[in-house]
Structure formats: C-alpha cells, structure tokens
Structure 1
Amino acid sequence: MNSDFEALDRARVEQALAGLAGAFALDLRPECDSTNTQLSAAPLPQDGRVPVLAVDRQTAGRGRRGRVWQSWPGASLTFSSLWQFAPGAPVPAGLSLVVGLALAQVLEQLGVAGVQLKWPNDVLIHGRKLAGVLVELSSGQRRGIAAVVGIGINLHLPPEADIPHEGGVIDLAACLDVPPGPNELLALILTRLHGLFGVYGAAGFGALRAAWEERNAFAGLPVRIIDETREQRGNCAGVDEDGALLLDTPEGRVRVLSGEVSLRLA
C-alpha cells in the first residue's frame, strides 16, 4: 500500500464540491468488485441526484474489450457515476469522448503537461496511459437515457505493478510535484463532468468537438484500427460530429464508430 494512502471520505469530497455537493449521491467504500457493475444494479435516487460509487480498491474492475483494470489500495482513483439524459438527448454519440475531455481539462487545470486524448476512451500523458473510461448504457425502467460512466486514474502505482499496455503507463505522482488526493480529484472531475454533460445534453458532441480535437493524440498520424475480424490502416483525420473516428485510407475517408476496436500507431 502507498505510504501516503488517503482513504476516500464523503465529508471531504462534499466540501470540495462546495455548491454542487447536493447534485450528487455519494457512496464511498473501501472496496467492491466493479463500480460499474454495482452502480448499474443500484436503485436510482428519487431526488434527481447523480449516483456516484467510488472505492479505494476494485477487486474485479473492468475496462473495454474485456480487459481488467488492475487496482491496489492508494494506487488509483476508481469510480462510476450514473447520468440521466432527457429524451431526445444525443446519447451515446461521442459520450466517452466528452468524459475524456473532462478528465483532460481537470488535469490541465492541475498543471499536468502533455495531456492527450486517444480515441475513444483513454487519457495519455506524452503517449503513456494515465486514465481510462468505460461507458455503459444503463437498462431498466427510467425516463430518458441513462449511462454509467466508469473512470480509472493511476495515482501512485506500486513498483511491482505490471500493466501491459502499448506505449506504457504513467501515474499522476510522476506528473506533478504535489498531486491532489483522491477526494479533491474526485470532486474536481465530478464538477467538470457536470458542466460538460450540461453542454452535451443540450447541443451534442459537436459543441465540444473542437476542444477534443485540440488534444487528439494521433491527429494526422498513420494508425491501425483493429477489431476481432479485420484491420484498417490510414491517417487519423480527427472525429466527426457524433464522435466517430475519421480515417483517411487509399479508398477514401471512412468513419469508425466506437465499439470493440483498438486504435494504434501504424
């Protein structure tokens, strides 16, 4: 365990949220299997608050494409939040990209240099993975559309951590001389998500597209798109109004929708 381990504390998170504290229903625990799984099955608050489940450690954290999010106490901030959008909102088009943008803006606010976004759901620092996002639409009898947004951020990885990932990984402790604790960081991210989701729900991803493009890690670079059945190659031409990846190939420009695909440098 990290010797500077700071446990999640509801009072500290609410204090950091300040005037937005009443917008969230916080559930903070030492441990659970998967915050996305647990939150998807939990009943919704009847007062319109956004449910948030954050833990010091996940024992069965999940990432995209069936990957496991490895977790050690004090090593990462892992949490999920459930957001409801009005009928007619553009969900899920570009939703994971909005989450990545929120994380990038918080990191830049803290003074982290070299923040990049990898389509559709990773946050990189100079090409190394710092954070990941898993968005799952929530089923059940709810008005409008609901999405569970899972986020994992490396805070202080132990020396024995072995995380296979193309390009390598990095933690927040390597990016800042005095990184924030998990309580402050959780409040900062929830605050930014609250603001950006308000824009997204009203105007769609198109209103945030330019901000995402400014941080596109692979802009103009040759890339490979790999899924279970085939591989596509081309130059990354950015993203479309609905968050689809644009790929310039010898056959012309193609759109790649968010799904079970992997984006890599060619």
Structure 2
Amino acid sequence: MNESATKPVATSDTHFAAVAASSCRIDPRRVHSLLGTLSSRFTLVALAECVSTNSVLLERAGQGAASGSVLVADRQTAGRGRRGRSWLSTPEASLTFSLLWRFEGSVARLAGLSLAVGLAVARGLANSGVGGVGLKWPNDILLAGGKVGGILVDLEAAADHSLAVIGIGLNLQLPPDGDEEFLHRPAALAQVMARLPDRQQLLAQLLTDLAEIMDRFADGGFAALRRDWQAYHVWQGRPVRLLDGVLVDRQGLCMGADSDGALLLQTDAGLERCLSGDVSLRAV
C-alpha cells in the first residue's frame, strides 16, 4: 500500500490528524488526550501501512513539516534499521514510529543524539512498567538478554538549523519462528509483562520522555545526559570486543561513552575512542 492510499483526515485540533479508525489501530485523538499539556508540541499522523516511517517523514521534513511531527504506522513494508538492515512491523507485534525534531546550529552539534534517544526510550519503557531495560551502544534497546528495540536517526542540515528524523521500533511480541537470521536475539515486552501496555498509552509515554530528553540535549548536548545513559548501559566496565563486520577490530574494557557519544574502550594501548557507526559491540 502506498502513502496516497492512506491520506490522513484532519481533526478539529490543528495539531493532530488521523486516518479513519477502521484503517489504523493508533488513534491520534487518543494519544493527544494522553499527552495532556505536551499535546501542543506534537503533530501526529497515523497510517495503516507505509514503506518506512523515516523515509516518509524525511520527505515531509523537506516540505516544511514542523518540529515534533510524528508518523506512526501499523505496518512497515521496508522499514530500515542500522547499517541498512530491515525492520519490519505488524500492528499486533510491534510499535514503530518516527519523530521529527529541529535543532539550532549545525549537524555537528548532534553528536550522541542516538544515545540520547536510547535513554528516552529506556525511561519511557520503565515509566510504562517495563523492568530490566538496558542500552547497548550506539542504538539498541535490550531486554531479557535480547534486543527489544532499535533506533535509526537520519540527520540533515538546513540553512540556519539542523534536523533529525528519529525512527524507533519496539517488539511487543516475539517475531514468529522462521528462516530469518537475526544479528541479535530478539526480545519482546511480552516476555517480562503479564499484560502488555496499550500501544497508544505506550506511544504517549515515549513521546513524553522524548520531549524532556530532546530539550536537555538541545541545551547541553549528550554531555548533559551521559551519566543517566551510563546507568542503563549494560556493558559498563565489562570486557568487550569490537567487530567491524565479522572481523575483530579491537578489544578491551568498555568504559561507557564520552561527552560526545563516542564509545570509550580501555585497551593495552590506552583509552581509545570509537565513533564508527559500523562497529558492533560484543561481550568477550
């Protein structure tokens, strides 16, 4: 289904739009009411299906979409993960959405943004009653020994500001068994919760925590969030090895993240910084 087949219908609230209730399981009006005083900061559009929420929202950003624009889809047919991997979604088993946020200054000021988003998601899950959430550098959400969610951040520079389209995907239920091979063992909220949170309440909570963290990041960068992020970092102080593809690039003691989001690794050669987005982290 292409986007033109799911054109949103405007509501009386100018900050929100919604598709017909029969075609999408997220009701922006309901999310709007749950956001309370924060509702004016977000513009929410819900689609039954799209290729990728990040791709669609990036296009809308180029057309002047406001900061705080949110696109949530019941189903992605070609969702993108880190390093070009796919992230597919279904309404019963996942929550996938993208958020547009505009920042003053250059893209260089956004170093460490994916880590800040991870902190916001971890807090949003914790505030929704999910226990045991952890973070893995640079953009994985961990739970029950596996990956429950991922983050994809697309950055663009404008004449007088920069923008980020932040894609977030969470597993509510485990993916079905099949022939697909996962880089990381998948996890799901259903593994640790007797009753899953309502998807609309979960989305509202995540947006609430994202707004707070994005404000703090805009004021002080990742440095202002570093200590909070490291409290969720599951491999803090543990021996790890970095993989570039399938090859071991280096190994040492993981010392968390620097003030700009770089991974810190204590090796025989000293304290090293890793900035590459193509490096995977594995416990020794």
Q: State the TM-score, normalizing by the size of structure 2.
A: 0.85
Give aligned pairs, total. 260
Match of 1:107 in 2: 125
Match of 2:270 in 1: 252
Report how far residue 55 of structure 1 moved: 0.2
Cα separation, 1, equivalents of 2:51 and 2:99: 15
Q: State the SS of the aligned residue for 1:138.
A: strand
Q: 1:44 to 1:88 in 2, by over 3 A?
A: closer
Q: 1:64 to 1:84 in 2, by over 3 A?
A: same
Q: Is the 8 A contact 2:128 2:205 kept in 1?
A: no
Structure 2 unpaired stretches of 5+? 1-23
Aligned pair 1:155/2:172, yes or no? yes
Q: State the SS of the aligned residue for 1:238.
A: strand
Report how far residue 108 of structure 1 moved: 1.4
Match of 1:14 in 2: 32
Match of 1:217 in 2: 234
Q: CA RMSD in A?
A: 2.1
Q: State the SS of the aligned residue for 1:151.
A: strand
Q: 2:211 aligns with which of 190, 194, 199?
A: 194
Structure 1 unpaired stretches of 5+? 1-5
Q: 1:61 to 1:41 in 2, by over 3 A?
A: same
Cα separation, 1, equivalents of 2:180 and 2:131: 23
Q: 1:73 aligns with which of 91, 100, 117?
A: 91
User: Which shifted more, 38-47 or 19-28?
Assistant: 38-47
Cα separation, 2, equivalents of 1:52 and 1:58: 15
Report how far residue 110 of structure 1 moved: 2.1
Q: Is the 8 A contact 1:122 1:131 kept in 2?
A: yes
Q: What amino acid is aligned across from residue 260 of structure 2 in structure 1?
A: D
User: Which shifted more, 97-106 or 249-258?
Assistant: 249-258
Match of 2:160 in 1: 143
Q: Is the 8 A contact 1:104 1:115 kept in 2?
A: yes
| Identical pairs, percent | 45
Cα separation, 1, equivalents of 2:144 and 2:262: 23
Match of 2:281 in 1: 263
Q: 1:197 to 1:161 in 2, by over 3 A?
A: farther
